[in-house]
Structure 1
Amino acid sequence: MPIPAKAFQRWLQGIAPDTSTADVCRISGIKRTTLAQQMVRGKISGTTVVSISRAFNINPVDALAVFDTFRALGDPPRPPSRAELVSQVSTPDLLRAVLARPALDPAGQPSAGRPTLSPTPHATSVKNWVEAIDDGELRHRVSAATGIAPQNYSAQLTANRLAPELAVATSLAAGVGPVGGLVASGLITEEEAGWPPDARQAALDSLSDGELTTLAGDRLLALGKALRRQEQDQEKTDKIWENLG
């Protein structure tokens, strides 16, 4: 569930006791109308808390942990698994990593230099993260714990987004550290999550040639299916416009 407005007001008063709401919005880059609407509804989004915490030099993870919905973020930190880290490597970066392996290069030589990984999140970061920690029953456990319908949960993954409270609930249901989903969804950065600067690269480098090639193949297969669906949808749209004249 979103953050209650009363709890948010108490938190805001604690970090900025002498700052007006207008100044808070200006400093954090939040529209006053957006915050006002959230206050009227009595539900504050995690994104709002993250924006304000950054503006006041507070780690967003620590800020979110103040609220009951995100209390698990205050537990002792747990390092991300290798599977989680690799899930946050984009498909183009994976393909470049394949070509950089000497055993997979026709000339038997590594590519010159090692390209820098693209920042998180990437186009399928949320879906890849869930798949990386899913034991086959994860979605059912998340649905039971949060009340979200499985189809609605899947729709968020397809759109490469995940509500902050669902991201944390997913981590808890999978038994992994609670910040992984927040990184995958782009709410917080790797640095804010406490991930080492080269953690994703190290995880990628630790994959064997076979593991890396298989993973890249799986990503390409998933990408091909998604592109084909888009093409079919576009073909249907074009036919509708043709029939309309």
Structure 2
Amino acid sequence: MPLSAKAFQRWLHGVAPDASVADVARASGVKRTTLAQQLVRGKVAEATVVGISRAFNINPVAALGSFESYQDLGQPPVPPTLQELVSQIATADLLHAIIARTEIIARTDPDTGTGAGPPELSPPPHATSVKNWVDAIDDGELRHRVSAATGVAPQNYSAQLTANRLAPELAVATSRAAGVGLAGGLVAAGLVTEAEAGWPPGARQAALDLLTDGELAVLAGERLHALGKALRRQEHDQRQTETIWENLG
């Protein structure tokens, strides 16, 4: 839900009272024309607030909490669950972890008895981060609760998950309906970073380390199975498209 331009201008005046639109655009990396168009239309995108907040060293989650529609984001952050943390680990990183665990003896320093350490995890979002996050916090009725609370049809909600995106208001509504930290969905959708959401440093790696070898293998297998299904659908659609063009040609 885009933010009211009037509310945005009040917020911006408090953040940078002497800055012009051009100054704000230049500092934040938001295009001047984009910002001007949003102000004219009376609706400012959440991503614009995030970009400006970073430019002026303000936590983006706290900044969004300054607006009425996101006011509960101003509350102290709630730590993510183990399931949320694992959902934000890319499939490639899971596979790297499996390989690293099987090669732990080869990677161990014979002099110190210590390993080389795990490779650094890639930051969220990843290719299926949004759907994985929702699946991680879904008790089986979550989608229906979100639909009832927001008025968004379940099929439209599912379409966003399939496209690996989630509008900020839906991300927060999903967190609220699941009873988890409100900024988790914003991390999964790539609007804010782990640190900006208040996630502890190294939390995802710690969650990964807690997985047993069996749990890690099962999770990676589920991810690969889902990826395989998606790729087969794409290949099927591509073949159908090529057949249509051949028939037309």
| TM norm structure 2 | 0.93
Unaligned runs of 5+ in 2: 108-114
Tell me what 1:143 maps to: 147
Aligned partner of residue 195 in structure 2, secondary structure:
helix
- The AA in structure 1 aligned to 2:14 is G
Tell me what 2:55 maps to: 55
Aligned partner of residue 109 in structure 1, secondary structure:
coil
1:120 to 111, 120, 124: 124
**Kept in 2: contact 1:50–1:60 (CA 8 A):** yes
Q: How big is the shift at 1:108?
A: 7.6
Tell me what 2:110 maps to: none
Tell me what 1:95 maps to: 95
Change (3 A) 1:108 1:76: closer
1:210 to 2:214 alignment: yes
Note the 1:1-245 alignment, pairs <5 A.
Answer: 1-101=1-101, 105=102, 109=105, 113=116, 114-245=118-249
Q: How big is the shift at 1:2?
A: 1.9
**2-structure distance, mates of 1:222, 1:32:** 41
**Kept in 2: contact 1:2–1:69 (CA 8 A):** no
Q: How big is the shift at 1:123?
A: 0.5
| TM norm structure 1 | 0.94
Q: How big is the shift at 1:110?
A: 6.2
Q: How big is the shift at 1:40?
A: 2.2
**2-structure distance, mates of 1:217, 1:110:** 24
Percent of residue pairs identical: 73
**Kept in 2: contact 1:117–1:201 (CA 8 A):** yes
Q: How many residues are matched? A: 241
**1-structure distance, mates of 2:195, 2:84:** 15
Tell me what 2:112 maps to: none
- The AA in structure 1 aligned to 2:105 is Q
Unaligned runs of 5+ in 1: none
Aligned partner of residue 190 in structure 1, secondary structure:
coil
**1-structure distance, mates of 2:232, 2:142:** 27
Q: How big is the shift at 1:22?
A: 1.3
Q: C-alpha root-mean-square deviation of aligned residues, in Å?
A: 1.4
- Structure 1 runs of 4+ off > 4 angstroms? none
- The AA in structure 1 aligned to 2:134 is V
Change (3 A) 1:14 1:208: same
**2-structure distance, mates of 1:64, 1:140:** 26
Q: How big is the shift at 1:41?
A: 2.2
